[in-house]
Amino acid sequence: MFPDATGRPTDRPCSLCANTQHNSLLTAEENMFGMGKMFDYLHCGHCGVLHILDVPPDLAAYYPTGAYYSTQRKSWVTQQLARLRDRSYAYPSLLGSLLRSRFPSPALQATLNIAQDRTTRILDVGCGGGALLRSLADLGFEHLYGVDPLITAKQTHEGVHLLPGELKDVHGEFDLIMFHHSLEHMPDQLNVLTAARERLTPDGRVLICIPTVDSLAFDAYGRHWGQLDAPRHLYLHSHRSIRELACKAGFQISALHCNSQPMQFWTSEMHKDGYPLISAHLKIYKRRRIRFFRQLTIWANSVDRGDQIAVQLRA
């Protein structure tokens, strides 16, 4: 364990498993927008989860309207390049394959690993602006729904149905319910996963893509780790803690693998040097040591030490 990943001892209980032994506190700064506020996180000595101690009462203030990445619209050129890349997952092309090798889409790949039938009924919880669902629609999927509290009104476009609200506001059954980097933003995770199980078809599955503290990046950077993202990320799971949570919700894990990207290192380098993610230095850090970080990412994923995991659940 590196110095920045260690914390101060505490007897406060873990909110997931109630453990009080060998817990520690880690203080992290809001590092996306440079707001300068600090937040305490508890690192559990039993299940390994890292969770915020006190959820800010004004959490919406940390998702500025139009500024949070999941709701931003990309430029026309970026959208067309992303479309070429995404189509190459099903319909290979030279340019698409090149784009995919340099700028992969772990979310789309993880989804297609499960949903191979275009009639699969899919619900994306915390879908943001619905970019992933639009990619699936472009690949021929027919039943696509998304829900997000940042959506202001119901929208339907080219077969994609976007709903304002949370999972509890959605009715019907689905073959696949997905949480692509959304579960870590939710305070009541057990009830959320229980609600997902209640909305699954008998053979349905849940896909969770989340950051994980069981990673080289967290060990190396600790409170400066890019995916800590205080205070928006409320729970940062270990491999063990997500298994325990899934079990409590009535699921078993059928697959778990790392799909982290090089940004785990260059964003952490930015924060270590005192720069927020929304900074004029962003392009500099994205390009710095990029070949090394790509190779390090491939290695970390291969030994289950990447800082993102894709987890498949069955009831």
| Whole-number pLDDT of residue 83 | 84
Exposure string of 95-123, with b = 16+ CB inside 10 Å and e = fewer, is: ebeebbeeeebbbbebbbebbeeeebbbb
* pLDDT score for 73: 66
Share of the chain above pLDDT 70, in %: 95
Report the pLDDT averaged over residues 18-32: 96
Tally of domains within the chain: 1
Taking all residues of the chain, what is their mean pLDDT, rounded to a whole number?
92
Average pLDDT over residues 9-37: 95
Q: CA-to-CA distance for 48 and 41, rounded, in angstroms? A: 12
Residue 3 has pLDDT above 50, yes or no: no
CATH of the domain at 181: 3.40.50.150
**For 92-103, how does the pLDDT look when each residue is reduced to its tens digit (9 = 90+)?**
888 877 888 878
Give the residue among 69, 17, 9 at the shortest CA–CA distance from 238: 17
pLDDT at residue 165 in the model: 95
Residue-level pLDDT at 70: 55
Let me know: does 262 contact 297? Beta carbons within 8 Å: yes
User: Residue 20 above 50 pLDDT?
Assistant: yes
Q: What is the dihedral of CA 36, 179, 143, 170, to 10 degrees?
A: -80
Is the pLDDT assigned to residue 72 strictly greater than 80? no
pLDDT at 31 over 50: yes
Spatial distance between the Cα atoms of 163 and 149, rounded to a whole number of angstroms:
8
Handedness of CA 106, 256, 208, 211 (dihedral sign): negative
Per-residue pLDDT, 133: 96
pLDDT digits (tens, 9 = 90+) for 279-311: 999 999 999 999 999 999 999 999 999 999 999
Supply the pLDDT for residue 66. 64
Express each pLDDT in 133-144 by its tens digit: 999 999 999 999
The Cα 232–Cα 124 span in angstroms is 19
Of the candidates 6, 58, 11, 62, the one whose C-alpha atom is nearest the C-alpha of residue 34 is 62
Residues 6+ apart with CB under 8 A from 257: 301, 304, 309, 310
Compute the average pLDDT of residues 102-122. 91
The confidence band for 242, taking pLDDT boundaries of 50, 70 and 90, is very high
pLDDT digits (tens, 9 = 90+) for 163-217: 999 999 999 999 999 999 999 999 999 999 999 999 999 999 999 999 999 999 9
61, 74 in Cβ contact below 8 A?
Answer: no
**Inter-residue contact 178 to 123 (CB < 8 Å):** yes
Backbone angles phi, psi at 237, to 5 degrees: -85, 150
Say what the pLDDT of residue 55 is.
Answer: 93
Helices (H), the chain: 76-87, 94-102, 106-114, 131-138, 189-198, 216-221, 239-248, 263-272, 282-287, 290-302
What is the residue whose two structure tokens read 């069981």? Answer: 214
Domain that holds residue 305: 3-314
d(CA 26, CA 4) in angstroms, rounded, equals: 9
In this prediction, residue 2 carries a pLDDT of 40
pLDDT at 67: 63
Does the pLDDT at position 4 exceed 80?
no
Q: CA 295, CA 219: separation in Å to the nearest integer?
A: 18
Bridge partners, 26 (sequence order)? 41
Residue 76: Cβ within 10 Å count: 8
pLDDT of 69 > 90? The answer is no
Contact (CB, 8 A) for 200 and 122: no
Given a contact cutoff of 8 angstroms between Cβ atoms, the answer to whether 105 and 85 are in contact is: yes
- Residue bearing tokens 């994205």: 286
Checking if the pLDDT of 1 tops 60, the result is no
pTM: 0.91
Of 60-64, 82-86, 158-162, the least confident:
82-86
Give the model's confidence band at 91: pLDDT under 50 very low, under 70 low, under 90 confident, else very high. Answer: confident
Q: What pLDDT, on a 0 to 100 scale, did the predictor assign at position 104?
A: 85
The answer to whether 4 and 224 have CB atoms below 8 angstroms apart is yes
